[in-house]
């Protein structure tokens, strides 16, 4: 049960993982790494959150480091240049703040504020340069982070990223509707929606600037590569559901695989936890199986040409980081203050959020 407080693999410390959440195979077979730039990345993301006014100064001071947002990205995107990792880390921090705003708009009944933000994000995604100084810090911060991400790869990658994130915004809108109307989606409906609200294809897209290469569609859509990518993200989404189930039940949530299983499949809470664990463990097993096939596919790409060698190396780098995602997600959930519900004064109100109707002016 090792964490990495110093940004290395040589100085682990013991973290107590509850038995119901412990995954020995992750701890034994998925070595944890942390990008050497991580300490500087953490410092710069903290400063960026302040500069962009995405969190109040007192919240940044007290909670930003403990939320471990940069740790999550620095454990995933190994091999990234410092500039790429910083852009991804800032974007990831923005994503968590956006998720919190979405949650607070639901909790406090602010549909007008949410719809306004939704529409602004759609527009800023296509024209980020025109929104760098937007009155809503969340829109301006989004435009800044997206502009930086767009600088690394060709326009074709940018358009794909934008298409994928438009779908994420729309999925958040459907979640807003479900939660405000108390609608618990069926298991199948939830699984389809979760792939979007967790932004499966966004985090997968970002593997490419880390590898320094846009991966063409025929390669990205190869069954083994696509399956490995999907399994790494499904693991993360479902393990997140497992870990956040107490928080989300306390907050009268309706969007959690465990809640869908309880509501529509008639499972008890205990049975839902077992089912979630089974699904999480199956993701790990299936990833290990398909990983070998995907690596063989990467070898086949090296056909003696310069382009073939480049694509083979890029696919191998992406697959390596898909593997890193398992350990990074796992330890994040046991180190981040985002999931330490028992330490909150109010189990339904995270202490790091701003409850004001931001962006309403």
Tokens representing 172 are: 């958040």
Tally of CB atoms within 10 A around 13: 11
Tokens representing 314 are: 């890029």
> What gap in Å lies between CA 95 and CA 257, rounded to an integer?
21
> Active site residue: 30, 32, 95, 194, which one?
95
> Active site residue: 53, 96, 118, 174, which one?
96
> Active site residue: 165, 198, 297, 326, which one?
198
> What gap in Å lies between CA 269 and CA 265, rounded to an integer?
11
DSSP assignment letter at 133? T
Tokens representing 147 are: 């502009």
Is 227 an active-site residue?
A: no
Is 30 an active-site residue?
A: no
* Angle between helix 187-197 and 155-180 (nearest 10): 130
> Active site residue: 110, 220, 316, 338, which one?
338
**Contact at 8 Å (CB) between 166 and 130?**
no
Is 161 an active-site residue?
A: no
Is 95 an active-site residue?
A: yes
**Contact at 8 Å (CB) between 79 and 321?**
yes
In a 3-state reduction of DSSP, which class is residue 260? helix
Q: Which residues of 322-338 are buried (b: 16+ CB within 10 A; e: fewer)?
A: bbbbbbbbbbbbbbbbb
Given the structure tokens 């190994």, which residue do they identify? Answer: 78
**Contact at 8 Å (CB) between 43 and 27?**
no
**Contact at 8 Å (CB) between 283 and 235?**
yes
> What gap in Å lies between CA 194 and CA 242, rounded to an integer?
13
* Residues pairing with 13 in the sheet: 3
**Contact at 8 Å (CB) between 287 and 301?**
no
Which residues are designated catalytic? 95-96, 198, 338
């Amino acid at each position: 049960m090792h964490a990495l407080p110093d940004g290395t693999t040589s100085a682990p410390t013991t973290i107590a993982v509850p038995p119901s959440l412990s995954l020995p195979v992750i701890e034994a077979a998925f070595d944890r790494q942390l990008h050497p730039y991580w300490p500087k990345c953490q410092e710069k993301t903290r400063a960026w959150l302040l500069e962009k006014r995405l969190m109040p100064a007192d919240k940044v001071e007290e909670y930003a480091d403990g939320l471990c947002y940069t740790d999550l990205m620095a454990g995933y995107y190994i091999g990234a240049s410092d500039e790429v990792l910083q852009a991804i880390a800032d974007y990831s921090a923005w994503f968590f703040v956006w998720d919190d705003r979405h949650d607070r708009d639901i909790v406090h009944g602010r549909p007008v504020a949410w719809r306004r933000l939704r529409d602004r994000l759609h527009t800023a995604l296509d024209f980020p340069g025109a929104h760098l100084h937007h009155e809503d810090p969340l829109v301006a911060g989004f435009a800044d982070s997206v502009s930086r991400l767009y600088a690394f790869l060709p326009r074709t990658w940018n358009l794909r990223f934008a298409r994928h994130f438009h779908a994420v915004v729309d999925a958040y809108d459907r979640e807003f509707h479900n939660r405000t109307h108390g609608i618990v989606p069926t298991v199948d409906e939830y699984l389809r929606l979760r792939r979007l609200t967790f932004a499966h294809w966004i985090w997968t897209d970002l593997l490419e600037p880390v590898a320094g290469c846009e991966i063409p569609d025929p390669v990205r859509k190869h069954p083994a590569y696509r399956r490995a990518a999907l399994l790494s993200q499904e693991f993360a989404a479902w393990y997140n559901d497992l870990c956040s189930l107490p928080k989300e039940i306390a907050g009268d949530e309706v969007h959690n695989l465990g809640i869908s299983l309880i509501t529509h499949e008639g499972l008890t809470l205990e049975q839902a936890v077992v089912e979630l664990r089974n699904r999480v463990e199956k993701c790990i097993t299936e990833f290990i199986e398909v990983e070998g096939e995907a690596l063989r596919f990467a070898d086949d790409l090296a056909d003696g040409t310069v382009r073939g060698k480049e694509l083979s190396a890029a696919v191998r780098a992406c697959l390596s980081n898909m593997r890193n995602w398992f350990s990074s997600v796992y330890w994040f959930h046991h180190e981040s203050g985002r999931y330490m519900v028992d330490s909150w004064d109010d189990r339904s109100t995270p202490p790091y959020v701003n409850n004001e109707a931001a962006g309403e002016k």
